[in-house]
Chains A and B, each alone.
Chain A
Amino acid sequence: MRRQRMAALTLPAVLLAAPLAAQTTVIRGGTVLTVTNGVSEGPILIEDGKITAVGGEVHVPDGAEEVDATGMFIMPGIVDAHSHIAAESINEGSVSVSSMTGTGDVVDPYDINIYRELAGGVTTSNILHGSANPIGGMNVIIKHRWGADAAELVFEGAPPGIKFALGENPKRSRGTPPGVQPRYPATRMGVVDVIRQAFLEAEAYRQEFRDYEAAKARGERLLPPRRDMKLEPLVEVLEGTRLVHAHCYRQDEILQLLRVAEEFGVRIATLQHVLEGYKVADEIAAHGAGASTFSDWWAYKVEAYDAIPHNAALMAERGVLVSINSDSAEEARHLNQEAAKTVKWGGMTEEQALATITINAAIHLGVGDRVGSIEVGKDADLAIFDRHPLSTYAVNQMTFVDGRMLFSREKDRAMRESAAAERADLEAKLAESEPPRRGPPGRGTPGPGAGPSGSEGGRR
């Protein structure tokens, strides 16, 4: 259904090349928190971006880069299942169904938060559309390959997904400005209705194409139906090839979503926020949805008033796969601390806690075979902390993505110095080349947006 026209312009090969450095690195010393196979000793061998050995006698090829992690704690790179960084827009709020949009179209490789989060040990993030509509836009999963261009940031091979949203945000409970026609829906009843109608529409659309293909096969002559980029992602949802990540809070809306999805044979991949998930954990587990929640935010709105910090632990107890996400460029910088809160509130084990920000999140995003634990064959995405990462005092020292050290405290310090020097140089250079600052204000100063061919300079 997603046949593309033959491109008149072919993509340069460079766009498709995975940014893997063919290099070998060995990390020695330190405690390895594998998350899936308990705590282990090093060394960790990394070849061509993949983990090729963990512990034991490791044959290290000549010329391998040596990283000394003595006394440190090595954990899998953190996976954030709910993020809005690195996107130039995240909400297409004008419509109730914005599935034709996608954050993948507006990835911003310059967003400094990619780096800041990398410094906090985050290596994979799920860049979601906002929660303005019952059916939102498509998401994109990125790796924090700081310095790469937008296409290279994208987690190659990750399954596609889409955002749904329930409750106060899509029903616009904060009101509509005067003079603006309110947008349907305005209630939770309407939210479910929008989702159901969209699924029905997608089914009809799929049928239209099936009918067309069948008729064509019979040799009938007829006009091809129009491709609808709003419905195609929803057809993929119906067919189980696109993951649904659904923003939700209250238990009733969670159930309604699960039921409407089941009506169409759809499994919701993840319930996002799902702050009242603990009230319907059994139902969530039975449906097979994952739950990606915050550690402890509450009371900022009515549907968050019953939020409790034990939510993650409670859902996990009932068999739900739980991850802790950030939904915030700030919070993402210390997801290790957020995970620690599941130990404090609800009594998760340390390994379970670490799993909420690594392997569980990776499984939620359909990339559990690639990232989320320290295992042979997985991507060498690692964070190395100076203390146990569940400690408040732990500071991430190095982050590896695809085996490349893209952050280290040491590199960062060096970068600060070079940036300061560059700034000084540029300021001096620009002070010379650019016209001096304008005199007293009050004279006509062209404002921003003085359109194409704004004011004309003559010969001077």
Chain B
Amino acid sequence: MNSERTSKTAATAGLLAAAFGLAAAADARAGQQEGAWVIENARIHTLVEGADPIESGSIVIRDGRIVEIGEVSAPEGATVVDASGLDVFPGLMDSVSQLGLTEIGAIAATVDTAELGEMNPHLKAATAIHPASEHLPVARANGITHAVVAPGRLGGFGGGGSGISGQASIVHLDGWTVEEMDIEAGAGMVLSWPTLSTRSFNPATFQPERRSFREAQEAYDKAVAELGEVLAAARRYHEAGSADSRRRDVRLEALSPVIRGEMPLLILANRAREIRGAVEFTKEQGVRMILLGGAEAWEVTDLLAEEDIPVILGPTQRLPGHEDDPYDRPFTTPGELHAAGVTVAFATFGSSNSRLLPYEAGHAVGYGLPQDAAIRAITTVPAQLFGLEEDFGTLEEGKVANLIVVNGDPLEIRTEVHHVFVNGVRVPLDNRHLRLYNEYRNRPRPR
């Protein structure tokens, strides 16, 4: 037994650290301990399909994985965390984020989200993830344990141009280096689908511009055709194989897993027409598609269900795309997709706001998405979407120990996160915000 047998106190201390900042460690990593852990007396939400929560049980963690779960006693030497009255859930997964790629939005020097050019399949987000980003501990402190980090301009309706911006990487939100954080460096190929719009904004003149629908259609068709050509070239390159002595083409090489169906295309599309176009394209090309964004996915639910296209929804908390849309259109979309049998995950598409992931999901619950589906949409579903279900998404023996200990429903804002385990290690909840809070809360009154 470790000295942290005073786990009740520890839990309380953790809570206080989180909420009132009384006991935050000066060293950000002081709370981290290797070795075995046991979380006791917890209500365990395993999220295993069909299984009820374990009302009071333990989870034993060793070497980064859950080794036992249920009514088990603490093994020798394990650090005990008493979770009486608390709930344990799988760690939350932000299915699309830019964590670690950007620090201060307005300062270009701190932003590594989008490379120049429209065809960058060989670039990987993991290459540029900054492990010391202040955003990571902030997200982590609210229960986000791992995230898909995607390159590209992900905001808005067609605001970011089109093309392949690179490969998304899945990382733990903890690690001394990005290699330690690594879960899957090449998790998906991010493609911003071409937008068909008669209106555009010219940043050079600061003026909106218009073109005829025909012109817009032609530009769109051309862009889609070019994508097809790139995949065709990748296919030729792949078929030529290693016997071909040509100079390596890292771009085409990077597309090989896509054309082999091993890596999904993460296609960012918001308008119904563009979603249809993307579905048709991927069907023709025989490649896997995951839809990102999907603001108008509600218009094509049947197609998405029929073709089994999963959707990683953009923020629930956004404005309807059209003034005549129902005011709650973005709030009801997740529930509508779910009801139609479409697989839905949530994502923040951001960095500083990644901690709000559970509330993006929670907001949809009031508008028709079942609560358990909302939780799954930020845990088990994204794990499955990225082929990580062997290791992530549920609390089961053998799985990677990314989990959170909370005092209630994680989708409720007032719920507090008491402990966060990433890769089998309890990580401190300390972060920039808590440090500043503690510092200035203790500021003496000015004389």
Please tell me whether chains A and B touch each other in their complex, using a CB distance cut-off of 8 A: yes
* Known interface pairs A299-B103, A301-B106; A416-B414 also in contact (CB < 8 Å): no
* Known interface pairs A314-B437, A412-B326; A395-B366 also in contact (CB < 8 Å): yes
CB distance from B136 to the nearest CB of A (A): 12
With an 8 A cutoff between CB atoms, is A271 at the interface? no
Inter-chain contacts of B212 with A (CB < 8 A) = 441, 445
With an 8 A cutoff between CB atoms, is B4 at the interface? no
With an 8 A cutoff between CB atoms, is B356 at the interface? yes
Contact between chains at A330 and B105 (CB < 8 Å): no
* Known interface pairs A334-B317, A347-B19, A416-B326; A299-B134 also in contact (CB < 8 Å): yes
As a 0/1 sequence over residues 310 to 325 of chain A, the CB contacts with chain B under 8 angstroms (1 = contact) are 1000100100000000
Contact between chains at B106 and A390 (CB < 8 Å): no
Contact between chains at A337 and B413 (CB < 8 Å): yes
Which of B171-179, B357-365, B385-393 has 4 or more CB atoms under 8 Å from chain A? B357-365
Contact between chains at B413 and A344 (CB < 8 Å): yes
Contact between chains at B319 and A390 (CB < 8 Å): no
CA distance A279 to B443 in the complex (A): 8
Interface of chain A residues 279 through 306 with chain B (CB within 8 A): 279, 281-283, 296-302, 304-306
Inter-chain contacts of B71 with A (CB < 8 A) = none
CB distance from B316 to the nearest CB of A (A): 10
Contact between chains at B363 and A330 (CB < 8 Å): no
Inter-chain contacts of A309 with B (CB < 8 A) = 433
What number of A-B contacts does a CB cutoff of 8 Å give?
128
Contact between chains at A314 and B441 (CB < 8 Å): yes
With an 8 A cutoff between CB atoms, is B324 at the interface? yes
* Known interface pairs A282-B445, A390-B414; A300-B105 also in contact (CB < 8 Å): yes
CA distance A391 to B371 in the complex (A): 13
With an 8 A cutoff between CB atoms, is A460 at the interface? no
Inter-chain contacts of B416 with A (CB < 8 A) = 344
* Known interface pairs A299-B104, A344-B413; A119-B327 also in contact (CB < 8 Å): yes
CA distance A347 to B214 in the complex (A): 57
With an 8 A cutoff between CB atoms, is B249 at the interface? no
Inter-chain contacts of B363 with A (CB < 8 A) = 334, 337, 392
Interface size classification for chain A:
35 or more
As a 0/1 sequence over residues 190 to 217 of chain A, the CB contacts with chain B under 8 angstroms (1 = contact) are 0000000000000000000000000000
* Known interface pairs A299-B104, A392-B365; A283-B323 also in contact (CB < 8 Å): no
CA distance A283 to B445 in the complex (A): 9
CA distance A240 to B184 in the complex (A): 61
Which single member of B324, B328, B366 contacts A393 (CB below 8 Å)?
B366
Inter-chain contacts of B411 with A (CB < 8 A) = 392-393
Interface of chain B residues 362 through 392 with chain A (CB within 8 A): 362-363, 365-367, 371
As a 0/1 sequence over residues 360 to 375 of chain A, the CB contacts with chain B under 8 angstroms (1 = contact) are 0000000000000000
Interface of chain A residues 218 through 271 with chain B (CB within 8 A): none
CA distance A113 to B327 in the complex (A): 9
With an 8 A cutoff between CB atoms, is A454 at the interface? no
Contact between chains at B319 and A301 (CB < 8 Å): no
CA distance A83 to B436 in the complex (A): 28
Contact between chains at A112 and B106 (CB < 8 Å): no
With an 8 A cutoff between CB atoms, is B20 at the interface? yes
* Known interface pairs A112-B323, A305-B104; A441-B328 also in contact (CB < 8 Å): no
Q: How many residues of B contact A (CB 8 A)?
A: 51
Inter-chain contacts of B319 with A (CB < 8 A) = 113, 116, 329-330
With an 8 A cutoff between CB atoms, is B1 at the interface? no
CA distance A112 to B320 in the complex (A): 10
Which single member of A174, A296, A308 contacts B356 (CB below 8 Å)?
A296
With an 8 A cutoff between CB atoms, is B210 at the interface? yes
As a 0/1 sequence over residues 19 to 30 of chain B, the CB contacts with chain A under 8 angstroms (1 = contact) are 110000000000
With an 8 A cutoff between CB atoms, is B43 at the interface? no
Contact between chains at A299 and B105 (CB < 8 Å): yes
Which single member of A298, A300, A393, A441 contacts B365 (CB below 8 Å)?
A393
Inter-chain contacts of B324 with A (CB < 8 A) = 419, 423
As a 0/1 sequence over residues 411 to 424 of chain B, the CB contacts with chain A under 8 angstroms (1 = contact) are 11111100000000
Contact between chains at A116 and B327 (CB < 8 Å): yes
Inter-chain contacts of B107 with A (CB < 8 A) = 301-302
With an 8 A cutoff between CB atoms, is A341 at the interface? yes
Inter-chain contacts of B343 with A (CB < 8 A) = none
With an 8 A cutoff between CB atoms, is A343 at the interface? yes
Interface centre among B320, B413, B415 (most CB of A within 10 A): B413
With an 8 A cutoff between CB atoms, is A394 at the interface? yes
Contact between chains at B359 and A392 (CB < 8 Å): yes
With an 8 A cutoff between CB atoms, is A448 at the interface? yes
Inter-chain contacts of A392 with B (CB < 8 A) = 358-359, 362-363, 365-366, 411-413
CA distance A330 to B440 in the complex (A): 31
Interface centre among A119, A302, A305, A314 (most CB of B within 10 A): A305
Which single member of B105, B320, B326, B437 contacts A308 (CB below 8 Å)?
B437
Inter-chain contacts of B359 with A (CB < 8 A) = 337, 392
With an 8 A cutoff between CB atoms, is A115 at the interface? yes
Interface pairs (5), CB distance under 8 Å: A283-B446, A299-B104, A344-B416, A386-B366, A392-B363
8 cross-chain pairs, A with B, having the tightest CB-CB distances, nearest first: A392-B362, A301-B106, A299-B352, A340-B413, A308-B433, A300-B105, A395-B366, A112-B323
Chain B interface residues toward A at CB < 8 A: 19-20, 103-107, 134-135, 210, 212-215, 317-320, 323-324, 326-328, 351-353, 355-356, 358-359, 362-363, 365-367, 371, 411-416, 432-433, 436-437, 440-441, 443, 445-446
